[in-house]
Amino acid sequence: MGVRKGTNGYIRRKKRWQLLMTVVIAAVSVGLFLLGWLAVGTTKNLLTVVAVLGALPAAKALVGYIMFLPYKSFDENEFALLRMAGEKNESGHIYSDLVFTSPQSVMHLDALYVVGKELVGLRLADEKAKKQGEIASYFTDSLKKRGVTVHMHIFKTPAEMLERIESLSDRNEEIPEEITEFIRMILA
């Protein structure tokens, strides 16, 4: 696919890939069905069974596409500004295009900056402030279970996030391994 999870452009590529896989697998299934029907003259043949079984992976790929459909990749220029600000602090790390699930819902962050035990998120166009609280609670509760207490704040504009990242530029704290593992788990 080319772009790793947590990098800018991931959602855009993931949607294209899932849609392509859906179309290709569905086309192969329909082709096998038609081939069997034309060759035997009836739908009661082995290729029909194979075509129906091929519909299962096509449906799975379609579900993957539908899951990512409401989200879009963060603007590359805006992300470049955040990344440059975040790179001033060598111990910090910035992620983009995070889509993750909790037992209750699917959640999305446009960007996430981590330095020490400080997590700074960005969620654009969020008409549901409740979702921001849910995301912050998910992170803080999950990390608390892993033995790490963190401070997380989610901003609604890149300017607010940029200001917070710049205010953290003098922090030279290493990111605890538990936080790194948790983020890897989310991105898996």
Can you tell me whether residue 92 is helix, strand or coil?
coil
Q: What is the pLDDT of residue 188?
A: 64
Question: Sheet harboring 106-115: ordered strands across?
Answer: 93-101, 106-115, 118-122, 151-155
How is the chain split into domains, by residue range? 10-68, 76-187
DSSP class of residue 168 equals T
Please, are residues 94 and 8 in contact by the beta-carbon 8 Å criterion?
no
Q: What single-letter amino acid sits at 37?
A: W
Given the DSSP bridges, would you call strands 118-122 and 151-155 parallel, antiparallel or unpaired?
parallel
Q: What is the pLDDT of residue 130?
A: 65
Q: What is the pLDDT of residue 133?
A: 83
CA distances from 93 to 7, 44, 152, 175 (A): 11, 57, 14, 9
Burial class (CB in 10 A: 0-12, 13-18, 19+), 12: middle
Residues of the chain under the 70 pLDDT cut? 1-2, 125-130, 188
Q: What single-letter amino acid sits at 111?
A: A
Q: What is the pLDDT of residue 90?
A: 83
According to CATH, the topology of domain 76-187 is Trna Endonuclease; Chain: A, domain 1 (3.40.1350)
Q: What is the pLDDT of residue 2?
A: 64
Q: What is the pLDDT of residue 128?
A: 59
122 Cβ neighbours under 8 A, 6+ residues apart: 74, 82, 109, 110, 111, 112, 154, 155, 156, 157, 158, 161
Q: What is the pLDDT of residue 140?
A: 94
Given the DSSP bridges, would you call strands 118-122 and 106-115 parallel, antiparallel or unpaired?
antiparallel
CA distances from 28 to 16, 25, 40, 52 (A): 18, 5, 18, 11
Q: What is the pLDDT of residue 97?
A: 92
